[in-house]
Amino acid sequence: MKLAEPSTLPRGARRFVAYWLQDTAYRFHKHGFRTLIPVRTIVCVAIGAAVGMHANKVTLADTQTMVAVYAAVFTVNAILLAICWGAFSKMFDILSDQDFGAWLRRRRMDGYYSFYIEFIQLMQMLAVATAAVALILSLLAGIPEWALHAALAAVATTSSYAAWWASGCVHIMQDLGDSRSAYLDRRDEVHEMRPQQGREA
């Protein structure tokens, strides 16, 4: 079955998934089976599970302590989201360049950058929302102990995953800047490049 070209799909979940599948296929073709192993996800889930399972019961039951912890995590995640938004703004400035942006659209490469921007923003917002929910739960009485452990595990998992991708946001911005520089340096030749070459430029 041939997948539809993601750039021809309307914006939304279907287009997002299509770009994810196409990017996974590209990385599989380039690096092999190891790209199919979600290392980041596994590591972050392991971190969250370890933190949630081994958390001190007395500390979890201490409302004042947990409110301070979740408030600090919420603040850090919000700061990372703001930093990423700054990087996104720079990316959109580069993508809006008339000549470079038109070339990306002709080569159907602009969607990959949009995909990663949407993905990183989604992960950052998920981390912020998870910390906010955990903060609210810590203020409520009568919450089961397992729920407190689960909330802490979820916060540790989503926050570590979002922080990991925050560093990736910087690399993506640098890659986009490098691609534009390469395009400007060889403007007469770049129209002959294949999409794969453009992604590696």
Residues 6+ apart with CB under 8 A from 187: 99
The model's pLDDT over 131-156, given as tens digits with 9 standing for 90+, comes to: 999 999 989 888 898 999 999 999 99
Under DSSP, the state recorded for 70 is H
Q: Rounded to an integer, what distance in angstroms lies between the CA atom of residue 16 and that of residue 112?
A: 10
The 10s digit of each residue's pLDDT in 170-192 is 777 777 777 777 777 665 544 44
130-162 CB burial, b ≥16 within 10 A, e <16:
bbbebbebbeeeeeeeeebbebbbbbbbbbbbb
Asked if 145 contacts 60 with a C-beta cutoff of 8 angstroms, the reply is yes
Q: Average pLDDT for residues 64-70, to the nearest whole number?
A: 93
Average pLDDT over residues 94-101: 75
* CB within 8 Å of 18: residues ≥ 6 apart: 3, 4, 6, 9
Residue 47 binned pLDDT confidence (cut-offs 50, 70, 90):
very high
Q: What is the pLDDT of residue 116?
A: 80
Query: C-alpha distances in angstroms, 176 versus 90, 100, 173?
Result: 10, 11, 5
Pick the closest to residue 94 from 188, 175, 17 (CA basis). Answer: 175
Domain boundaries, the chain: 1-37, 38-200
4 versus 136: the higher-pLDDT residue is 136
What is the rounded average pLDDT for all residues in the chain?
A: 78
33 vs 30: CA distance, rounded Å: 10
> In the chain, what is the greatest distance between 2 CA atoms, to the nearest angstrom?
68
